[in-house]
């Protein structure tokens, strides 16, 4: 489950190009992106450096945004594929698809407020069976820049911890 949370983090952190300017949150986020930062797979683990290369793909309706790319850590590489769907108003959902056999599909939903999109996930940790809660935030940082951060509860202690932050450049 730890890797599925990291993959979900990586997939959802990616703003994608809208085919039409129907959704103001996606404006200015089209293109190819390079990112770097840190992730931590479990609460008491050391931070690991991560690098990502991503491209965006737009669904012709302008409401569903796809992401394709790879993120690399010292311990493994994650192929990244997924989508973010604008539901109308400030509501969003995202389904993250994992191409690695041991990872699961995760559903996130949330709202955009100004320059940030916050998505929430509630699920079970695969190893402990405990319920976990995660919050993923995509924050625009001006033209050609955004960052993604995720927090989640530790299934053992229930305490909230930072999974990671990745800063992206491109456009």
What's the sign of the alpha-carbon dihedral 45, 51, 53, 54? positive
Domain positions in the chain: 2-170
Q: How far is CA 26 from the centre of its chain?
A: 14
User: Are residues 129 and 113 in contact, defined by beta-carbon separation less than 8 angstroms?
Assistant: no
C-alpha Rg value of the chain to the nearest Å:
15
pTM: 0.79
pLDDT reported for residue 145: 92
pLDDT of residue 23: 63
The reported pLDDT for the residue numbered 50 is 94
Q: Which residues of the chain have pLDDT under 50?
A: 1-21, 97-104
Number of H helices, E strands in the chain: 1, 10
C-alpha to C-alpha distance for 131 and 128, rounded to whole angstroms: 9
Q: Which pLDDT belongs to residue 2?
A: 46
Residue 143's pLDDT is 86
Q: Which CATH architecture has domain 2-170?
A: Beta Barrel (2.40)
Say how far apart CA 98 and CA 118 lie, in whole Å.
21
Alpha carbons 54 and 31: distance in angstroms, whole number: 9
């Amino acid at each position: 489950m730890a890797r599925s949370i990291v993959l979900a983090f990586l997939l959802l952190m990616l703003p994608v190009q809208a085919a039409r300017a129907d959704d103001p949150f996606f404006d200015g986020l089209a293109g190819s992106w390079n990112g770097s930062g840190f992730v931590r797979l479990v609460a008491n683990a050391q931070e690991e450096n991560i690098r990502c290369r991503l491209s965006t793909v737009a669904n012709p309706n302008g409401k569903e945004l796809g992401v394709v790319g790879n993120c690399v850590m010292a311990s493994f590489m994650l192929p990244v594929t997924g989508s973010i769907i604008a539901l109308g108003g400030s509501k969003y959902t995202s389904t993250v698809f994992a191409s690695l056999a041991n990872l699961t599909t995760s559903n996130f939903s949330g709202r955009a407020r100004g320059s940030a999109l916050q998505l929430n996930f509630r699920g079970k940790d695969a190893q402990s069976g405990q319920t976990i809660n995660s919050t993923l935030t995509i924050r625009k940082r001006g033209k050609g820049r955004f960052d993604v951060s995720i927090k989640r509860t530790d299934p053992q202690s229930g305490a909230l911890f930072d999974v990671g932050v990745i800063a992206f450049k491109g456009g």
